[in-house]
Chain A
Amino acid sequence: MNWEAFWLTVRLAAIVSVLLIAIGIPIAYWIAHSRWRWKFLVEAVVALPIVLPPTVLGFYVLLALGSRSPLGRWWESLTGHTLAFTFEGLVIGSLIYSLPFAVQPFAASFGAVDPKLLRASASLGQSPARTFWRVVLPLSKAGLVTGFALSFAHTLGEFGVVLMVGGNIPGVTRTISIDIYDQVQAAQYASANWTAIVLLLISFAALSIVYGINRRPWAVGPWK
């Protein structure tokens, strides 16, 4: 068991899923409430990572992060090194890769909040922002936990994007799925087996949480 790769992966998944709460909530709110006629295009773009081969996604992310792209050059002028083959680059790639797994449950739960409650909140003198904070978010708890757990589990298991964007640098970009691949390549099946089981168990636990919450809307939280 490669603990260095394990903790790196957990750190990556944690950072990505926390950032996705911040990034995903505004996108999801817009998707849930916008009446823009071209909204479906945005929805399609957000969902792309679900169907795209991770290598394709990784390839474009690599191009975007490299020193020939504006983003890559900007980052280089700030920090003095490129984003490709760094942990930060891995975070950016994973954010895009796991975006739909956060945004879709968020948007579904925001959209499921009864619009009458929003009207009631307005008639009680509460601004849209306060209404979001006091009504929409609390009633979307299950969707928020689902999106968090799914993007965590999804990032945990990514392979193709990591390989394209991060390469395989121990302690920097070598995640457990890459480590398993390495071990298999080196014919260390026993070791690969242990790592694989850990990954399997964590993923199972994450999905159990998701299905556990969605079994009953109020199964999580202080109330019965």
Chain B
Amino acid sequence: MEYFLQQLINGLTLGSIYGLIAIGYTMVYGIIGMINFAHGDIFMVGSFIAMMMIVALGLTASAGLAFLLLALVLVLIVAMVFASVWGWTVERLAYRPLRGSFRLAPLITAIGMSIVLQNFVQVTQGARVKPLPPIVTGGFTLVTGVNGHNAVQISTMQIVIIVTTFLLMTGFSLLISKTRLGRSQRACEQDSKMAALLGVNVDRTISLTFVMGAALAAVAGLMFLLYYGVIDFYIGFLAGVKAFTAAVLGGIGSLPGAMLGGLLIGLIETFWSGYFSVEYKDVAAFSILVIVLIFMPSGLLGRPEVEKV
């Protein structure tokens, strides 16, 4: 039981990170009906920017927690701003010039952007993995086990990740459902031509969607960096594929679906590694995806496409 609780906490943490990235996939898919293959690499860039900021500020675990959190918020904002600029650039270079051309063209350019970003970081930062000593340390013991066995612990970092994700996702859902910007995004998603005829600037709305997705990916990038303490230029690929899987599992185009899918993929992976074998955790995650898609082709929370005759 204690072991289960511990895995649950670990799984929720991992799932939060996947969920944050998955939102970017699902929003872009919702609005332009295409997968942004460079999104995983935006996440990677975000995490590199966060690392540079942390090194530049000289943050270590010895600083007080309050100061540390404040400094990390600053790091987060800078990473979000830079990642947003990258997200905007990707849309501007790889998507907008090809809008209206044949459907697969933007996919190719997006893969191109992904390769460019990876190689750019590889050349400028080096190909080796970058370690970062743990900054946010400490934690709480929820259940004290016998002689150190069966203890359930939650680290401060895990709390930070889960709370931040929860806050961001709540804020984001409100943004989409209640505000003018969210309304115009949903309008563009359903019928962009009609939205334009009602005076909505579709190009700007699409740009903002990329920017918002990129900002959330940067948050995930910082979390990933602080949680695992190791990043390299290639982390965007696997994390991107997992988050994409999460978005599809939850129902691509659906915001709550992306969050749910992220959490599920995180949990599946963690429980599989905890109870069976670490080697096959990716197999487990992708197998679940296949099974869900066979029985629910539009994902868990996706709207089934009904064609009117």
* Binding partners A and B: no
Residues of chain B at the chain A interface (Cβ within 8 Å): none
